[in-house]
Amino acid sequence: MKIKQSKFVKSSSDVEQCPPPTKAEFAFIGRSNVGKSSLINMLTGRKNLAKTSSKPGKTQLINHFEINESWYLVDLPVYGWSKVSKQKKAEWGVMIEEYLLNRPNLACLFVLIDSRLEPQSIDYEFIAWLGEKGIPFAMVFTKTDKQSKGKFQSTKARHIRELNNTWEEIPIMFASSSISQAGRSEILSFAEEIILDFKK
C-alpha cells in the first residue's frame, strides 16, 4: 500500500464523538514511551502527523487520521503511565475500553511492545483482556534497531513462550523500527488486505 494522503480529522474524548464508522479503522496503543507516535509517523511518511514528545502521555484523546480517503488510523492514549493521577488513569481506561468495545469498524488494534524489554505483566494482562472480548489485534515490536538481531530474536522467543501459556494460536507479530523503517511494508500490506475485505 502506498500512502498518498493523510490528514488529521478530529480528537474525541469518548467513542460517541468519533467520526461515523463507515471506514475500516486501525488503532495503535501501547505503554508509555513505546514509540507509538514515531511508528505512526513512519508508517504514514509524515514527520509530525502524530505529535511526538519527550514527555510520556502526550496522547490523551482518541485521535483520528484519515488515510488515502479510505480508512482511519487511530492514535489511542497510552496505558501504564505511572506519572498521572489515579483519576486520570481511570478516565483513560474507560475511554479506551468503551472505544474498543463499541467501535464496529475497528478492523485491528496494533498493540505496541518495546522489543528491548522482557514480557511485561501489564502488556499481557491487556492482551488477555483483548482475547476475552474478541477484539482483533496484532503485536508490533518497536525499536528493533536499538539492539542486535540476535538479541531481539531471543526476546521475541520469550514473548512467544509467554503467549503459548494461554493462547492456542500466537497472534500476528511485526518487528518495526521508526529509524530504519523496518516493518513498514509488512504492516501496511496487512492493513491493505483487511481494508479490501472490509469494503466487500
- Mean pLDDT of the chain, nearest integer: 89
Q: What is the pLDDT of residue 75?
A: 95
What cell does 156 get?
521475541
pTM of the shown model: 0.91
Q: Are 72 and 5 in contact (CB under 8 A)?
A: no
Residue 168 has pLDDT above 80, yes or no: yes
**Residue ranges of the domains in the chain?**
6-199
Q: What is the pLDDT of residue 50?
A: 76
What cell does 178 get?
521508526
Q: What is the pLDDT of residue 180?
A: 95
Q: How does pLDDT run across 39-93, given as a tens digit for each residue?
A: 999 999 988 787 654 444 456 789 999 999 999 999 998 876 555 556 555 665 7
Q: What is the pLDDT of residue 198?
A: 85
Q: Which of 89-93, 95-99, 128-132 has the lowest mean pLDDT?
A: 89-93
C-alpha–C-alpha distance, residues 43 and 136, integer Å: 20
Q: What is the pLDDT of residue 54?
A: 45
Q: What is the pLDDT of residue 86?
A: 60
Listed in sequence order, the residues at least 6 apart from 70 whose beta carbon sits closer than 8 Å to its beta carbon are 23, 24, 195
Evaluate whether the domain defined by 6-199 bears CATH number 2.30.29.30: no
In the chain, alpha helices (H): 36-44, 86-102, 121-133, 149-164, 184-199
User: Residue type at 143?
Assistant: K
